[in-house]
């Protein structure tokens, strides 16, 4: 941890001396970070560095072995699963469905943490789901079967699913994986614009996303966390973090080639 | 809206068909007389004084328990099938996917070989053995596949279910080879049927069926999240391990009770949930209740045909179900993909 950004007004999402062991192997250790409301944070790092595990730990999907995770100023272990789901939406890198499901039906599943009882999505839920679909510009896909969508369209549906959860934090695991150049740019622009939205907590939406494309990170994110070997190697602005030396060390590539990335 | 309308329409159809089916048979009884008999016998209403004691006895002692059994079994199988399909994210899953059918069949076959007579037979020794066999096989699959441990994989749950079912089927073959004169009775159980359902047997099975089916049909919220996979379900606020245990337990209780009452009735639990999805989409919160009503309706229709032409109901459901499944697969090219 060499560089830090200005201290946020309060801790929306944080980790303190976090360590995560899975199946007897230490995946993450000595992880400390603090993310405030309205921040746009990219997580980068080589395959197997622990980026996804970090996101899973920050969203309570895996327990901390030691240290703690803070969500909306509370230690995450004190929060119920439903409260967590109303605070942080996690958009996975791929959606596969066992049955024919329309995009609006899929996105309505994002309302599950706000629902009660056995009944299906209410009119209000459908309305919020359709608003989320509209927000990502996918209204024309509303009635399509999710399984017939292209990779780019499916990613839009996945982001709408996360938006329908109406959480102050939107976390995305490789939202640009498998996408071509144009769709990558569209998703990156969408994330930038989503970060400006006001959420139900009357703050700007916080976005945390894992990326492999450093150009997207440099263009659209004010803060980058570099994860390498299960710990945070650097945390700061793109120009501070994504230096040739750090890229070379983290990804194990020659310095002269790293300098061109 | 669409969901509520579909459920209401199916429910009305079920009630109409049920009243018609009670009157339908070798001794035909008009629907109004059926209502009069039930009104008089069940609620003591001063109606139907012109109706013979014979008709009353046919309706109350023979047809009504059988029709209620068809409704209960159909609802249980279709709801469990829908739950297993969502839970295991597999359109081929049916209520027997965890070995329920083989366990029940083996239990029943063993019971046929035991010298059960008199009171034990009347109380349903075979049914009890089938129930215990079904629960035991699921318990075995549960234990081996580690259901609810958080470590289980869907493919391994399906494979363990298949392996346990195969093992029990082999044991069943051995029992059948050794069964001699009882072979026909065992075979009858395997085909599934509602002949000889009595009030006591119905009551014993209907209580767990009703309880498990209603509770299961109310777990749609968690099952909806399961459509997206365990990880995504967790992120939607669902306690995946707990909800999976509850759903498997309820679906197993419903299926085991249904099998104890009616033997191995196939295809209802596989086909009805897909029909329901055609009508209301894939959200289990809509699919589960509609499957319950639709399964009841389908099995009631099938059983009415079965008792008219004198074959086991399982033969009829397979005769309707298999071509329907093929039609659904054919349709897959035109829109609803299975």
Q: Of B128, B137, B136, whose CA–CA distance to B108 is shortest?
A: B128
Task: Decide if B337 and A147 are in contact by the 8 Å CB cutoff.
Answer: yes
Task: Decide if B218 and A118 are in contact by the 8 Å CB cutoff.
Answer: yes
Instruction: Inform me whether the pLDDT recorded for A69 exceeds 60.
Output: yes
Query: Rounded to whole angstroms, how far apart are CA atoms A73 and A68?
Result: 12
Task: Decide if B228 and A85 are in contact by the 8 Å CB cutoff.
Answer: no
Confidence tier at B332 by pLDDT (50, 70, 90): low
| Residues B72-95: tens digit of each pLDDT | 999 999 999 999 999 999 888 999
Residue carrying structure tokens 């363990």: B160
Contacts of A95 in chain B (CB under 8 A): 228, 232
Say if CB A40 and CB A24 are below 8 A apart.
no
| Residues A79-128: tens digit of each pLDDT | 999 999 999 999 987 888 888 899 999 999 999 999 877 887 889 999 99
Paired residues of A204 in beta bridges: A198
| Residues A139-180: tens digit of each pLDDT | 999 999 998 999 999 999 999 999 999 999 999 999 998 889
Residue carrying structure tokens 């024309």: A140
Lowest mean pLDDT among A77-86, A228-237, B55-64: B55-64
Query: Rounded to whole angstroms, how far apart are CA atoms A142 and A133?
Result: 7
Contacts of B219 (CB under 8 A, 6+ apart): A118, B83, B243, B246, B247, B250, B288
3-state secondary structure of B222: helix
Query: Rounded to whole angstroms, how far apart are CA atoms B214 and B222?
Result: 15
Contacts of A81 in chain B (CB under 8 A): 234, 237-239
Say if CB B176 and CB B112 are below 8 A apart.
no
Mutate to test the interface with A, among B83, B237, B291 (most CBs of A within 10 A): B237
| Region label for A64, one of left (φ > 0), alpha (ψ between -120 and 50) or beta (otherwise) | beta
Pairing of strands A74-75, A66-71: antiparallel
3-state secondary structure of B123: coil
Paired residues of A171 in beta bridges: A90, A208
Q: Which residues of B touch A (CB under 8 A)?
A: 3, 85-86, 89-91, 217-221, 224-225, 227-229, 231-232, 234-239, 277, 281-283, 285-286, 335-338
3-state secondary structure of A210: strand
Task: Decide if A102 and B281 are in contact by the 8 Å CB cutoff.
Answer: yes
Contacts of A60 in chain B (CB under 8 A): 234
Query: Rounded to whole angstroms, how far apart are CA atoms A225 and A39?
Result: 12
Say if CB A145 and CB B337 are below 8 A apart.
yes
Say if CB B191 and CB B318 are below 8 A apart.
no
Q: Of B215, B224, B244, B82, whose CA–CA distance to A112 is shortest?
A: B224
**How many Cβ atoms from other residues are within 10 Å of residue A79's Cβ?**
17
Say if CB A220 and CB A191 are below 8 A apart.
yes
Partner-chain residue, chosen from B235, B282, B338, that has the shortest CB–CB distance to A90: B235
Query: Rounded to whole angstroms, how far apart are CA atoms B136 and B154?
Result: 20
Paired residues of A208 in beta bridges: A41, A171
Buried b (16+ CB within 10 A) or exposed e, B220-254: bbbbbbbbbbbebbbbbbbebbebbebbbbbbbbb
Task: Decide if A81 and B239 are in contact by the 8 Å CB cutoff.
Answer: yes
Exposed (0-12), middle (13-18) or buried (19+): which is B15, by Cβ within 10 Å? Answer: exposed
Torsion of CA B99, B103, B105, B111, to 10 degrees: -170
**How many Cβ atoms from other residues are within 10 Å of residue B155's Cβ?**
10
Confidence tier at B292 by pLDDT (50, 70, 90): very high
Instruction: Inform me whether the pLDDT recorded for A2 exceeds 70.
Output: no
The per-residue pLDDT of chain B, averaged, comes to 88
Complete edge-to-edge strand list for the sheet that includes strand A13-22: A25-35, A13-22, A66-71, A74-75
Instruction: Inform me whether the pLDDT recorded for A229 exceeds 50.
Output: yes
Contacts of B139 (CB under 8 A, 6+ apart): none
Instruction: Inform me whether the pLDDT recorded for B150 exceeds 70.
Output: no
> In the predicted model, what is the mean pLDDT of residues A208-228?
94
Q: What is the CA radius of gyration of chain A?
A: 18
Query: Rounded to whole angstroms, how far apart are CA atoms A140 and A121?
Result: 21
Lowest mean pLDDT among A2-11, B166-175, B207-216: A2-11
Residue carrying structure tokens 């602005």: A237
Query: Rounded to whole angstroms, how far apart are CA atoms A85 and A90?
Result: 9
Confidence tier at B225 by pLDDT (50, 70, 90): very high
Instruction: Inform me whether the pLDDT recorded for B28 exceeds 90.
Output: no
Task: Decide if A145 and B281 are in contact by the 8 Å CB cutoff.
Answer: no
Say if CB B90 and CB B279 are below 8 A apart.
no
Query: Rounded to whole angstroms, how far apart are CA atoms A166 and A170?
Result: 9
The per-residue pLDDT of chain A, averaged, comes to 91
Instruction: Inform me whether the pLDDT recorded for B223 exceeds 60.
Output: yes
> In the predicted model, what is the mean pLDDT of residues B241-245?
91
Query: Rounded to whole angstroms, how far apart are CA atoms A45 and B78?
Result: 48
Per-residue model confidence (pLDDT) at position B336:
53
| Region label for B12, one of left (φ > 0), alpha (ψ between -120 and 50) or beta (otherwise) | alpha
- ipTM for the assembly: 0.91
Mutate to test the interface with B, among A98, A113, A149 (most CBs of B within 10 A): A98
3-state secondary structure of B185: helix
Per-residue model confidence (pLDDT) at position B335:
52
Pairing of strands A231-236, A223-228: antiparallel
Distance from CA of B136 to the nearest CA of A (A): 29
> In the predicted model, what is the mean pLDDT of residues A127-142?
94
| Residues B119-135: tens digit of each pLDDT | 556 567 888 888 999 99
3-state secondary structure of A223: strand
Mark out the alpha helices in A30-113 (DSSP H runs): 51-58, 81-85, 103-108
More confident position, A65 or B121: A65
Q: Which residues of A touch B (CB under 8 A)?
A: 56, 59-61, 80-86, 88-90, 92, 95-102, 105, 108-110, 112-113, 115, 117-121, 145, 147, 165
pTM score, whole prediction: 0.90
Per-residue model confidence (pLDDT) at position B328:
77
Query: Rounded to whole angstroms, how far apart are CA atoms A122 and A115?
Result: 8
Q: What is the DSSP letter of A47?
A: T
List phi, psi (to 5°) of A88. Answer: -135, 125
């Amino acid at each position: 941890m060499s560089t830090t950004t200005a201290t946020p007004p309060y801790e929306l999402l944080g980790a303190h001396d976090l360590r995560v062991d899975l199946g007897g192997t230490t995946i993450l250790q000595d992880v400390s970070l603090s993310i405030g409301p309205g921040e746009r944070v990219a997580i980068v790092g080589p395959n197997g560095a622990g980026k996804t595990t970090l996101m899973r730990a920050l969203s309570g999907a895996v327990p901390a072995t030691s240290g703690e995770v803070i969500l909306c100023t509370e230690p995450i272990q004190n929060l119920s699963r439903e409260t967590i789901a109303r605070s942080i939406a996690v958009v996975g890198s791929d959606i596969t469905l066992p049955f024919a499901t329309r995009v609006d039906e899929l996105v309505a599943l994002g309302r599950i943490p706000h629902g009660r009882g056995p009944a299906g999505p209410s009119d209000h839920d459908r309305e919020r789901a359709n608003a989320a679909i509209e927000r990502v510009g996918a209204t024309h896909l509303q009635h399509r079967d999710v399984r017939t969508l292209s990779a780019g369209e499916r990613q839009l549906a996945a982001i709408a699913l996360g938006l329908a959860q109406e959480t102050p934090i939107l976390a995305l695991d490789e939202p640009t994986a498998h996408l071509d150049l144009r769709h990558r740019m569209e998703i990156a622009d969408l994330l930038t614009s989503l970060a400006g939205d006001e959420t139900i907590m009357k703050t700007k939406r916080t976005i945390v996303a894992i990326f492999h494309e450093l150009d997207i990170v440099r263009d659209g994110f004010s803060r980058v966390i570099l994860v390498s070997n299960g710990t945070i190697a650097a945390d700061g602005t793109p120009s501070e973090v994504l230096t040739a030396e750090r890229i070379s060390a983290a990804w194990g590539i020659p310095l002269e080639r790293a300098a061109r990335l | 809206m669409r969901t509520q309308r579909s459920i209401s329409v199916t429910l009305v159809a079920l009630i109409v068909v049920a009243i018609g089916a009670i009157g339908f048979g070798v001794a035909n009884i008009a629907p109004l007389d059926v209502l009069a008999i039930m009104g008089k016998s069940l609620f003591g209403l001063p109606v139907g004084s012109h109706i013979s004691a014979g008709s009353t006895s046919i309706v109350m002692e023979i047809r009504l328990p059988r029709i209620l059994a068809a409704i209960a079994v159909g609802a249980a199988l279709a709801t469990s099938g829908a739950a297993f399909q969502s839970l295991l994210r597999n359109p081929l899953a049916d209520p027997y996917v965890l070995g329920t059918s083989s366990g029940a069949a083996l239990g029943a076959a063993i019971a046929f070989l035991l010298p059960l007579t008199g009171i034990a037979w009347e109380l349903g020794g075979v049914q009890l053995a089938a129930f215990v066999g079904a629960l035991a096989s699921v318990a075995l699959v549960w234990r081996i596949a580690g259901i609810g441990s958080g470590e289980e994989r869907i493919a391994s749950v399906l494979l363990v279910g298949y392996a346990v079912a195969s093992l029990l089927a082999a044991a069943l073959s051995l029992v059948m080879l050794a069964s001699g004169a009882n072979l026909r009775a065992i075979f009858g159980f395997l085909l599934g049927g509602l002949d000889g359902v009595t009030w006591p047997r119905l009551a014993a099975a209907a209580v767990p069926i009703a309880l498990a089916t209603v509770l299961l049909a109310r777990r749609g919220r968690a099952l909806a999240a399961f459509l997206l996979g365990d990880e995504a379900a967790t992120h939607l606020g669902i306690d995946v391990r707990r909800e999976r245990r509850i759903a498997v337990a309820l679906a197993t209780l419903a299926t085991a009770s249904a099998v104890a009452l009616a033997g191995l009735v196939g295809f209802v639990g596989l086909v009805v949930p897909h029909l329901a999805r055609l009508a209301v989409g894939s959200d289990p919160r809509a699919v589960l209740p509609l499957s319950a009503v639709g399964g009841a309706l389908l099995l009631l229709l099938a059983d009415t045909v079965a008792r008219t032409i004198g074959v086991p109901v399982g033969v009829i459901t397979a005769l309707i179900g298999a071509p329907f499944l093929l039609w659904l697969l054919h349709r897959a090219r035109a829109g609803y993909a299975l």
